[in-house]
Copies of this chain bind each other. A is one copy, B any other.
Amino acid sequence: MNSRSQECVQALRYLSKEEAVAMETELLRDYRFGRQQLTEMLGHACATAIAKRQPTVLVVCGPDQNGCVGLACARHLRLFEYIPTVFTPKRSSDALHQDLMLQCERMDLPFLSYLPTEVQLINDAYNLVVDAVLGPETDLESVGEPFTGVLQTLRGLKAPIVSLDIPSGWDADESSSDGISPALLVSLMTPKRCALSFPGSHFLAGRFLPYDIQRKYELNLPKFSGTDCVVQL
């Protein structure tokens, strides 16, 4: 009886880029979630996923939404008593990004002024590098410097990488063999298609999707335990 009911469990869905964008639009527009609110929940959940591993961490944050989650994640890691270092390759014009930066600065998080191109320096200084550079919404055709340089450095690292939502530089719809290769992927809200055959550790962060949204997009999310905001897939 028990094994039969397990067979009937629907498989977790991996969303296309288009579906992911549509779902987020709906959360903001129809459910009146705020970006601040979503970013905070996601950043907190990412930090929780990472904290299970207890490393010294470099958090590389891009100028858009993925970078915002990275900044919130870095701040929560600090509150979990790590000392994360932050690097932001490009100044952002987004007010939420600027507020999250200031919160990190006033929490005394150290910021790198540049990313060493000598990867050995990074490997020696950090047990883990968080990749919050580019997200699913990034138009990869238009990615130039400083991001191409940063991605090249990340590709050369020996220190394990944790990517938030998708590995930076990947298309959300397909996996990549020549892009960066994270040891751990933290999908935000739902996994994206590019993660379908992801070989590393895979966490899902964020436990707040309305049930109607879960049904509409047929997400078949796994069960979160107790009050956990993170689940390993």
Contacts and interface: CB of A to CB of B under 8 A. Distances in A.
Contact of A36 (B36, B107, B229): B36
Interface stretch (A12-20, A40-48, A129-137, A190-198): A40-48
Contacts of A51: 226-227
A76 B227 CA distance: 9
B31 A102 contact: yes
**Secondary structure dominating the interface of A:** helix
B36 A212 contact: no
Interface stretch (A3-11, A169-177, A203-211): A203-211
Contacts of A207: 79
Contact of A227 (B41, B47, B211): B47
A55 to B, nearest CB: 14
Nearest to A209: B79
A31 to B, nearest CB: 5
A80 B44 contact: no
Given A34-B99, A40-B41, A80-B227, A107 B211 contact: yes
Interface string A58-97: 0000000000000000011001100000000000000000
A120 interface: no
